[in-house]
Amino acid sequence: MRVAAVQLEPVVADVQANLERCAALASSCAGAELVVLPEFFTTGMAFDPRLADAALPAVEGERFLLDLARSLDAVVGGSFICRDDDGENRNAFLLVGPDGVLGRHDKDLPTMWENAFYVGGSDDGVISWDGRSVGAAVCWEYMRSGTAARLRGRVDLMVGGSAWWSVPSWPPRAVTRRMESVNARLAASVIPAMARAVGAPVVHAAHCGSLSCPLPWAPVRYRGHYEGATMVCDGFGRVLAGRREADGPGVVVADVEVGRVAPSEAVPSSFWMHPRGPVAAFFWAYQRAHGRRWYARHARSRPPSSVRTTSERSKTSPYV
């Protein structure tokens, strides 16, 4: 099967601009049977208060993906901040074909400052597509043993995306640069590791570009970039096609043999499949506490955003 993954340079909180960029990049994926967009393909991700107003109703996210699937005659997947009927936001990964939605997976736990913009889900992430079982996972779900355990030996293909940010170059810079080197290697290694632990190929999309935003409960700003680990792996964790952050926006395309193989990597008994280090553990804990409080005060039940239809966009957009 020919598959493609999109690497996007997002405009934080600008839904219209990001959809136009996604449509432009995806247009170069003609011939692929499956196209995967990054996590938060509508918004990017930062601790930016504008994201509280950028959630899309499920029907609008579905409409965009359906339009894209029909234009490409392919199955398209990606996750976005979705406003559900209960007033909660969720990070919803939708897999959509030309005839409609095939399935949905809600990311189980928000990562760090993501807690300010949505709540987690609890589904198993298995979606049926034309006799195949597809496992969906998003960003740091690829870091967790529970993801491998729920999908191991159950799926023929994994799909998903990330919005993984770098370690900023703060003093002492020799230390934070070493930390960023480890972080970048980790962002690139968790996808092949999950393929080996589950025993299925993975199509993974990511973001690239610089990122700057306030830092919760801190007097300094975050300044960094997205780690662009866009790649396609086979079931043995071999990278068939990849794109780094430095390569900028674009797509990767590969022919992959869809189907289950014997898992070649054990699933650890620990919560995390990969060590995070003390700094990441600290930021995970404090930003989770901050984010849940901020979400309840500023994001829950706010009016959702909206987008123009494909035909409306085509009249004004250079991307469509």
Measured between alpha carbons, how far is 106 from 92 in angstroms, rounded to an integer?
A: 4
Distance from the Cα of residue 125 to its chain's centroid: 14
Query: In this predicted model, what pLDDT tens digit does every residue of 199-249 receive, in sequence order?
Result: 999 999 999 999 999 999 999 999 999 998 999 999 999 999 999 999 999
Query: In this predicted model, what pLDDT tens digit does every residue of 246-260 receive, in sequence order?
Result: 999 999 999 999 999
The predicted pLDDT at position 228 comes to 84
Are 228 and 243 a contacting pair, CB within 8 Å? yes
Does 310 have pLDDT greater than 90?
no
Query: 104 pairs with which residues across the strands?
Result: 94
Angle subtended at Cα 319 by Cα 316 and Cα 320, rounded to the nearest 5 degrees: 75
Measured between alpha carbons, how far is 143 from 34 in angstroms, rounded to an integer?
A: 24
Measured between alpha carbons, how far is 187 from 242 in angstroms, rounded to an integer?
A: 12
Are 204 and 240 a contacting pair, CB within 8 Å? no
- Per-position DSSP letters for 278-296, written without gaps between them: HHHHHHHHHHHHHHHHHHH
**Which range (32-36, 275-279, 282-286) has the least confidence?**
275-279
Average pLDDT over residues 308-313: 50
Average pLDDT over residues 23-51: 97
Output the six-digit token pair for 4: 């493609």
pTM: 0.94
Helix ranges (DSSP H) in the chain = 15-26, 58-72, 145-151, 173-198, 278-298, 310-316
Q: Does residue 268 have a cis peptide bond before it, meaning omega lies within 30 degrees of 0?
A: no
Q: State which amino acid sits at residue 128.
A: S
DSSP class of residue 226? B
Does 318 have pLDDT greater than 60?
no
Q: Based on the number of CB atoms within 10 Å of its own CB, is 292 exposed (0-12), middle (13-18) or buried (19 or more)?
A: middle
The predicted pLDDT at position 308 comes to 61
Look at residue 272 and give its three-state secondary structure. strand
Residue keyed to tokens 């987690």: 120
Output the six-digit token pair for 312: 């409306």
Average pLDDT over residues 49-62: 96
- Domains of the chain (ranges; CATH) run 2-311 (3.60.110.10)
Average pLDDT, the chain: 94
Query: In this predicted model, what pLDDT tens digit does every residue of 121-156 receive, in sequence order?
Result: 999 999 999 999 999 999 999 999 999 999 999 999
The predicted pLDDT at position 312 comes to 53
Query: 115 pairs with which residues across the strands?
Result: none
Residues 6+ apart with CB under 8 A from 148: 194, 197, 198, 267, 273
Query: 36 pairs with which residues across the strands?
Result: 5, 77
Are 44 and 11 a contacting pair, CB within 8 Å? yes
Nearest to 303 by CA among 116, 42, 90, 57: 57
The predicted pLDDT at position 100 comes to 98
Higher pLDDT, 277 or 313: 277
What percentage of the chain exceeds 70 in pLDDT? 96
Average pLDDT over residues 31-60: 97
Average pLDDT over residues 61-84: 98
Does 63 have pLDDT greater than 90?
yes
Query: In this predicted model, what pLDDT tens digit does every residue of 88-101 receive, in sequence order?
Result: 999 999 999 999 99
